[in-house]
Amino acid sequence: MKNPFFSSVADFVRGRDERRFSIEEVTRYFLSRTEALNPSLNVCLSINQNAVNRARQIDARLVRNRADSPLTGYPVMVKDNLEMEGYPTTCASRILSGYISRRTATAVARLLSRGVVVLGKTNLDEFAMGSSTENSAFGPTKNPWNPARVPGGSSGGSAAAVAAGLAPLALGSDTGGSIRQPAAFCGVLGVKPTYGRISRSGLVAFSSSLDQIGPFAGSGADALEALVAMSGKDPLDMTTVERDPSEMHSEYQSTEVRGLRIGIPEALFGEGLDPSIRERLMEVREALTGEGAREMEVTLPHSRFGINVYYLVATSEASSNLSRFDGVRYGFRVKKPADLRAMYEETRDQGFGDEVKRRILLGTFALSAGYQEAFYRKARKVQALIRKDFIEAFERCDMILTPTSPTPPFAFGEKTGDPLSMYLSDVYTITANLAGLPALSVPVGVDSQGLPVGAHLIGPPWSEGRLLKMADRIAGLYPMPLPEVHAGHVAGSPEGGRR
Amino acid sequence: MSVASGVRFGEWEVVVGLEVHTQLLTKTKLFCRCENRFGASPNTLVCPVCLGHPGTLPVLNGEAVRLGVRAGLAAGCRVSPVSVFERKHYFYPDLPKGYQISQYATPLLTGGGLRIRTGAGERTIRIHRMHLEEDAGKNLHAGIPDRSHVDLNRAGVPLL
């Protein structure tokens, strides 16, 4: 996570404006570190060959004018399900092989307009479906803390990039925990914003009613800068909401730990939670009450249906959203199919991986004639009840604290044979997506095996500023050690099909 | 869709329902900014949205809703204050997204009717419902053996 130039966005701004370093120097440093570590970590699916040129252009601009944004010249990596015009977007799937994007995702475009330098595009579970990055067609990403462990998923590449110091900031997408769970597994901060805060135009859709884009960063203050830059109404995404992004800055400034009411769903600290993670979380609770926060018991009675509802809603929407990948207009298509039907069947059979096919099948079944009312529509009704539980809980507390993941980062292959146990990785994070709420994972030290542990904060709609401030306060109580990553450390590890 | 009834053949009563696709005279398509025009060269009135590219989202054309409501008021329909778009799924090369965005459970307009003159005097053809949906493209096969040519200029044109 450390780099020789700066320790935060604020420190970057000072260094840049005092000309302690050039943007080209910084860009070259991260690119060469990526070049050295990527063969073993498999974080990046493509490196931006234009990054140094862009850095030079920014340097040239900075000679004449002051930077107009804290992020001018800041290096960023982007999950490879977010589009950049003229670059491949693979979604870590064979079915998009050869596809070059025609447009740039609004979230990325807004960062680019502030002058960021995109270093590369990061690995993910195919179409963001998974919790370990093992479902990538290009091989799994390794956890920088321990190369025998998964980095989490689906945004595992972006989380590992920040943890291993290949970029100080990376973008992910979160449908059921795909930013927060890998953030916890890799010991970095990851935020899923309120539904409607950030435009999804240019994000390849998985589950449209749940997907949100968000940042991975070293701190809440750094994540805040990226969030503010990306947020706001976008005419290209009708689900975005008109809200002033700077409200996050002011709420970050005004939030104090003293007097803050922290909701604790005690049921979530019991059965099924790894004892070592529980211990860390109990320490965090104690430290926060020591700082003057007040704990309130909250109950979220419908949250126990979260996984069930999620795997109906998300698979139904996925089966619909992925029907456009048919081999007709772009991407992969089988050679010389016998007829039209064979072209569809063989293209989709060979183009998609097993987990994607599993979810398409589940979703197609749930939406099929006669079952839609019993499955998808009923799930949407329970989803509304889950949201209502949270809104009621937030009448009595300012945020809710839970673990991010029930287990520490698991080993490669440990859960691939048992989809249900893999799905349970998301048990704490999924409800925030179902309720459309902002949530984040902040690192709170390591467990007995030296693997990172994350604390999960969920807030009422639009409370990102408050959550990020709290994350920084918690991180202040728990200085994280850094993973020792060097090329030799992870070399020779087994999996990892290269492109 | 309209339903006419009343003509009898012995013990049988003839009931005729019509499904009518009316193209709306908007400048642009229902969910993107491509021109809504007939007769252009194949695949020249297309963009990533109506081609169903990954990452694209539909943005509703307000003028199509306005024209739809106007037609509904003229025909005495009830205008639904909330109407919902849904996806109708099937695989076909002229359907870029693998689904058509249409209205199903909650259409824009219901009821009303059209008065017409017939040999037997004036009749009212009742309207069951009117909703907005996007058109598909077209597959061309005439004179081209062993191939399908797909023209997506019409994909996304607003229909009532």
Domain boundaries defined on chain B: 21-159
Residues of A in contact with B48 (CB under 8 A): 102-103
Is A323 within 8 Å of B91 when comparing Cβ atoms?
yes
Is the distance from CB of A127 to CB of A93 less than 8 angstroms?
Answer: yes
Q: How many angstroms separate the CA atoms of A113 and A435, rounded?
A: 31
Please state whether the peptide bond connecting residue A154 to the residue before it is cis, i.e. omega within 30 degrees of 0: yes
Q: What is the pLDDT of residue A493?
A: 36
Cα–Cα separations (whole angstroms), residue A220 to A213, A291, A401, A441, A470: 16, 19, 16, 10, 8
Average pLDDT over residues A347-362: 98
- The structure tokens 């039209």 sit at A340
The per-residue pLDDT for A137 is: 98
The residue ranking higher by pLDDT, A374 or A300, is: A300
Rounded to two decimals, the ipTM of the complex is: 0.92
Closest-approach residue (CA) in chain B for A83: B55
Active site residue A178: yes
Positive or negative, the CA dihedral A266, A270, A272, A274 is positive
Architecture label for domain A9-299+388-490: Alpha-Beta Complex (3.90)
Helix, strand, or coil (residue A266): helix
CB-nearest partner of B97 from A236, A323, A367: A323
Q: Average pLDDT of A316-337? A: 97
To the nearest 10°, the Cα dihedral for A327, A331, A334, A339?
A: 20
Nearest to A121 by CA among A172, A190, A57, A176: A172
The full length of chain A comes to 499
C-alpha distance from residue A244 to each of A59, A227, A393, B136 (Å) = 30, 12, 25, 39
pLDDT score of A499: 33
A154 is catalytic: yes
Side chain identity at A290, as an amino acid letter?
G
Place A494 in a pLDDT band, splitting at 50, 70 and 90.
Answer: very low
Token pair belonging to B124: 């009212």
Backbone angles phi, psi at B133, to 5 degrees: -155, 165
Q: What pLDDT shows up at residue A487?
A: 57
Q: Any chain A CB within 8 A of the CB of B7?
A: no
B59 contacts in chain A (CB < 8 Å): 235-236, 238
Find, among A225, A227, A148, A214, the residue nearest to A185 by Cα.
A148
- Per residue in B12-53, pLDDT (tens digit) is 988 889 999 999 999 999 999 999 999 999 999 999 999 999
**Radius of gyration over alpha carbons of chain B, in Å?**
18
CA–CA distance, A403 with A185 (Å, rounded to integer): 12
Number of Cβ within a 10 Å radius of residue A169:
26
Active site residue A405: no
> Across-strand partners of B13?
B8
Kindly state the DSSP code that residue B115 receives in the 8-state scheme: E
Please, are residues B40 and B153 in contact by the beta-carbon 8 Å criterion?
Answer: yes
Helical (H) or strand (E) element with A387: helix A378-393
φ/ψ of residue A96, rounded to 5: -100, 15
| Chain A residues lying within 8 Å of B98, measured CB to CB | 320, 322-324, 326
Domain boundaries, chain A: 9-299+388-490
Percent of chain B with pLDDT over 70: 96
SS3 (DSSP) at A288: helix
The answer, yes or no, to whether residue A498 has pLDDT greater than 50, is no
Q: A173, A240, A321, A329: which to substitute to probe chain B, counting the most B Cβ within 10 Å?
A: A329
Both structure tokens of B76: 């005495």
Chain B closest-CA separation from residue A87 CA (Å):
13
Q: How far apart are the first and last CA of chain B?
A: 10
Please compute the mean of the pLDDT values over residues A270-298 and round it to a whole number: 94
- Kindly state the helix (H) or strand (E) to which residue B9 belongs, with its residue range: strand B2-9
Nearest alpha carbon to residue A288 among A473, A480, A453: A473
pLDDT in tens, A156-189: 999 999 999 999 999 999 999 999 999 999 999 9
The pLDDT tens digits for A202-245 are 999 999 999 999 999 999 999 999 999 999 999 999 999 999 99
Region B92-110: mean pLDDT is: 97
Looking at the DSSP bridge assignments, the partners of residue A143 are: A146
pLDDT at B144: 83
A146 DSSP assignment: B
Residue A143 neighbours by CB under 8 Å, 6+ apart: A149, A150, A151, A152, A160, A163, A185, A186, A409
Neighbours of B126 (CB within 10 A): 14
Interface touch B53/A340, C-beta < 8 Å: no
pLDDT surpassing 50 at residue B141: yes
Q: Establish if B62 touches chain A: CB-CB under 8 angstroms.
A: no
User: Tell me: the pLDDT tens digits for A90-144?
Assistant: 999 999 999 999 999 999 999 999 999 999 999 999 999 999 999 999 999 999 9
Shortest CB distance from A324 goes to which of B58, B96, B148?
Answer: B96
The answer to whether the CB of A92 falls within 8 A of the CB of A137 is: yes
